[in-house]
Amino acid sequence: MKLLIRGVCIVTMNEEFEIIAPGSIVIDGNRLSYVGPAQSAPSGPFERSIEGGRLIAMPGLINSHCHSPANLVRGMMPSKPLEIWRAYYRASLRDMREEDFYASALLGGMEMLKTGTTSVLDHFFGNQACRFMGAGAAIQAMRDLGLRHVVALTLSDRNYEETIPLGSGAAAVGDEIKRMSQSEAKATQAWLDDCEAFIETFHAPDKLTTACPGPSAVQRCTDELLVKSAQMARRKSLPMHIHLAETKAQQLMGRQLYGTSLLQHLESLNVLDSNLSLAHSIWIDEGDVELFAGRGVTAVHNPASNLRLGSGLAPVKRYLAAGARVALGTDGAASNDSQNMFDAIRLSALIHNQAGTDFAQWTSPRQVLMMATVNGARAFGLDAGVLATGKLADVTLLRRDTPAFTPLNDLAGQLVFCENGSSVDTVIVNGEIVVESGRLKCMNEQEALALASKARERIDPSIQRELAAAKTMEPALAEMYARVFGD
């Protein structure tokens, strides 16, 4: 389709942070063929035109870290430290089937599209009883929605008790620890074979899918799995995604296992590269910031999740000051409860402004918008994140006749501090209109919601049973948490 958006206010997100008003955008197929002043726009013909006088155009937002299976349990997980919370969350997945993963991804994808997100990194872990843990069903849901997606298959070959500093408390919960290991870990080569097959089966950028390796976390993987996953990603020109140093306990495990920081261990294995993104990246050591910047690695900031679980505050100001790339994510709905990137944008612009710090180093609206667009695209090798000729046609149009933009004083500031996704009018992914007048184009929203409710109802008995089993681990994990922060 050849589409003209005429007379719109364009937030380009280019290096000059150029705002063009009035501007016009021409989409030809799945690419932007013109972005510039309205008076210089080509004359057509066009199959469709959108009058943009009341609209703001910006690049589609890029959610650089989430877990789609979590959407079915949003709001129900306790606000407790990650190691405790994770025992409950992973337990909730044990009876999920393909149709549940489809419904869950549909629910989260719908929320993202309707609030302006056009691309997402789904760090997928589901149920090993399903092929590829159920990732294929999530991919089908996102294709059905028209949401661009990078699906990183979660890999872990270390037993659970090897990945956290449980200490003497492990003996009391040995049976549940064994169940955790059985549900999460398997042999190194088996994971590598699965990941190769997963990529072979699903990687299809023309269908909006990038499939890639996603080692769970540094301390949850053997060196062999980390190295061979990185080699696989490089050989296939794919991104790779890993959790890094989300909690102090994980930082401690890095020192116990490797005698160094988790990031420095990845460096020693020659894993750090510009195709690597590292979720959270909170508990880092001296010199790690410079390593991020020097190797072109992307840190993915997940502010809501980190606050919800008390994980800590990522050193975003230090990353930005050093020239390191920072992208932005919602994390999963079990530790955030929302998949709305505008919430993540606003939090990122607020929580780093602590009293007594150098206010010249506080995060600016421009920096946060780059985290939500340009830097996510770079991390995953997507030719998007900027409105410029030749780029992928992933565009979000927001109404400017809303409270968030009335009066229109500072466009960047109001996108960051005032908008909550409710102004989103039209969303275009790969040149196709997938949201129009705030509604999904490709499916009935009520039917999608009903599907999610039905899936959640089906798995409720299993969830209640598994949460009760997970609760037996809490005393040992709470003791570990107190010990880690007492050291």
My answer on whether 327 and 418 are in the same domain is no
My answer on whether 189 and 293 are in the same domain is yes
**∠ CA 116-117-123 to the nearest 5 degrees?**
160
Go through 150-179 and write b for each residue having 16 or more CB atoms within 10 A of its CB, e for each that does not. bbbbbbbbbebeebbbbeebbeebeebbeb
pLDDT, one tens digit per residue, over 157-209 is 999 989 999 877 667 677 888 888 888 889 999 999 999 999 999 999 999 99
> Domain for residue 461, yes or no?
no
My answer on whether 259 and 307 are in the same domain is yes
My answer on whether 410 and 327 are in the same domain is no
My answer on whether 367 and 394 are in the same domain is no
pLDDT, one tens digit per residue, over 422-455 is 999 999 999 999 999 999 999 999 999 999 999 9
The per-residue pLDDT for 172 is: 65
My answer on whether 223 and 275 are in the same domain is yes
> Domain for residue 355, yes or no?
yes
> Domain for residue 82, yes or no?
yes
Token pair of 239, please? 């991104």
Q: What CATH number should be reported for the domain holding residue 317?
A: 3.20.20.140
Positions of the chain with pLDDT under 50:
none
> Domain for residue 350, yes or no?
yes
> Domain for residue 338, yes or no?
yes
Q: What CATH number should be reported for the domain holding residue 413?
A: 2.30.40.10
The per-residue pLDDT for 167 is: 77
pLDDT, one tens digit per residue, over 98-128 is 999 999 999 999 999 999 999 999 999 999 9
Tell me which residue range forms the domain holding 312: 61-380
* Domains identified in the chain, total number: 2
> Domain for residue 106, yes or no?
yes
> Domain for residue 211, yes or no?
yes
> Domain for residue 467, yes or no?
no
The per-residue pLDDT for 305 is: 98
My answer on whether 340 and 233 are in the same domain is yes
